[in-house]
């Protein structure tokens, strides 16, 4: 079964975070110290074992020099800019 849009977005967000960290050449420890998010949590996000909360996502993004909106925009772009609009009652 294909993952729903929000799950695909979460996967892309976590991948952007990992790629950004690697591009900057910093360790998970460094990001943990800068963000206040545990090393274990960051490792779980990068391995897609856990979904980050919005609070943790914002902290890690800022520690990596990104605004949370930039992080989400990059993840959305990787999904091809797909837009999901749902009206009340489940009608598209």
Q: Which fold has domain 5-90?
A: 434 Repressor (Amino-terminal Domain) (1.10.260)
Q: Phi first, then psi: give them for residue 89, nearest 5 degrees.
A: 90, 5
Q: What is the pLDDT of residues 45-87, one digit of tens each?
A: 999 999 999 999 999 999 999 999 999 999 999 988 655 555 4
- How far is it, in rounded angstroms, from Cα 31 to Cα 62? 10
Q: What is the 3-state secondary structure (H, E, C) of 33-81?
A: HHHCCCHHHHHHHHCCCCCCCHHHHHHHHHHCCCCHHHHHHHHHHHCCC
Structure pTM? 0.82
Cβ pair 14, 56 in contact under 8 A:
no
29's enclosing H/E stretch is helix 28-35
User: What percent of the chain has pLDDT above 70?
Assistant: 84
């Amino acid at each position: 079964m294909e993952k729903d849009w929000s799950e695909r977005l979460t996967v892309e967000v976590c991948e952007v975070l990992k790629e950004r960290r690697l591009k900057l050449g910093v360790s998970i420890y460094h990001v943990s110290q800068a963000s206040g998010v545990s090393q274990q949590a960051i490792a779980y996000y990068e391995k897609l074992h856990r979904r980050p909360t919005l609070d943790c996502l914002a902290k890690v993004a800022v520690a990596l020099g990104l605004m949370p909106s930039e992080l989400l925009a990059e993840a959305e772009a990787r999904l091809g800019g797909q837009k999901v609009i749902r009206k009340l009652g489940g009608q598209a």
